[in-house]
Amino acid sequence: MFAERRNGSLRIAVASGKGGTGKTAVATNLAATLSSEGYRVVYADCDVEEPNGHIFLKPTIRSVERVGTPVPDVDLSRCNGCGKCGDICEFSAIVCMNGKVITFPELCHGCDGCILVCPENAIRETQREIGCIERGRRDGIEFIHGVLRVGEAMSAPLIRAVKQKLSDEDVAVIDAPPGTSCPVIETVRDTDFVLLVTEPTPFGLSDLRLAVEMVRALNLKLGVIINRCDIGNSGVRDYCAEQDIPLLLEIPDDREIARAYSRGQMAVEVAPSLKVAFAGLWERIVTRISSRNDE
């Protein structure tokens, strides 16, 4: 995974312990700020279950690509009912019962174990569609997002596919799914920096703690952004100070910003002070990334 890393380009993941903290607003506004400062920027939405970066960025989509995941296809005429496929599958995606093989494609993780173990070469790999990737542009910003099929449970392969599309832009701003589960880890694992967006409330703090633990377990650099910093209490700030976590930006619950959001506009376009704030945020991120021993 680290071997294929591009020269000099930076990957910033924007995550949050829960949904509704303004994570996507931060990610899209950071991308817009960097683009207006002359960086070549790609915004990649890996929140594939509910991507909404396009609502802010309104890109013109120019390509759509279907993404599938490998699943086993059993040729029953060759199968001898030995059951080895079912024994090796950790996910119960293929089961041999009284000599009869049944597959549950929605559980298959595409590990190929059953194919390799089958003595009769009765299993081959086919693809099951799990979603699509749409790519486009908005002003200077490259736009990529993954859209998971409704009801689909397996998002990691789609997230990986989205990340494979990232190339040599100067900066990739990657919008992570909310929470701290597998899809989030898949999204942030090989990034250079993780921005955690939170609200200064007791709920925000408890979700932030989980997110911080996850990022630390992955050995990644992180910083916190407090959104709607004028509500709530000082709990998040105290926690960051005590844990030595850099608090990189506080965004007020500004009427103008809220109106911009509700019209689907970029906050940095309507509030110049915010653009300055995001430019400052970027400087602090870069400083953190280049310092080696701060985490």
Partner 1 sequence: MKIAITAQDNELHSAVDPRFGRARWFIVIDIDTGDFVPVSNAKNLDTGQGAGIQAGRHAAELGVKAVVTGNVGPKAFRILKAAGIDVHIGAKGTVEEATCQFKAGVLGLAKQANVEGHWA
> For residues 77 and 69, is the Cβ–Cβ distance under 8 A?
no
AA identity, residue 132: C
Nearer CB in complex with partner 1: 95/166: 95
Nearer CB in complex with ligand SF4: 118/174: 118
Per-residue binding string, ligand SF4, 101-120, x by CB under 6 A, is x------xxxxxxx---xxx
Residue 151 touching partner 1 (CB under 8 A): no
Among residues 17, 72, 86, 232, which is the contact residue for partner 1, using CB under 8 A?
86
Q: What phi and psi values does residue 94 have, to the nearest 5 degrees?
A: -135, 130
Among residues 102, 182, 241, 276, which is the contact residue for partner 1, using CB under 8 A?
102
- The CA-atom distances, in angstroms, between 195 and each of 110, 176, 220, 252 are 31, 10, 10, 17
Stretch of 85-93, 206-214, 246-254, 267-275 lying at the interface with partner 1 (CB under 8 A): 85-93
AA identity, residue 127: Q
Residue 183 touching partner 1 (CB under 8 A): no
Nearer CB in complex with ligand SF4: 101/257: 101
Cα first-last separation, the chain: 22
Q: What phi and psi values does residue 186 have, to the nearest 5 degrees?
A: -60, -40
Q: List binders of ligand SF4 among 44-103 (CB under 6 A).
A: 72, 74, 79-85, 88-89, 91, 93-94, 96, 101
CA dihedral 89, 180, 46, 24 (to 10 degrees): 160
Binding-site partner at residue 98 among partner 1, ligand SF4, none, CB < 5 to 8 Å by type: partner 1
Distance CA 291, CA 156 (A): 31
Q: List binders of ligand SF4 among 136-155 (CB under 6 A).
A: none
Binding-site partner at residue 41 among partner 1, ligand SF4, none, CB < 5 to 8 Å by type: none
Nearer CB in complex with ligand SF4: 93/285: 93
Binding site for ligand SF4 (CB under 6 A): 72, 74, 79-85, 88-89, 91, 93-94, 96, 101, 108-114, 118-120, 122-123
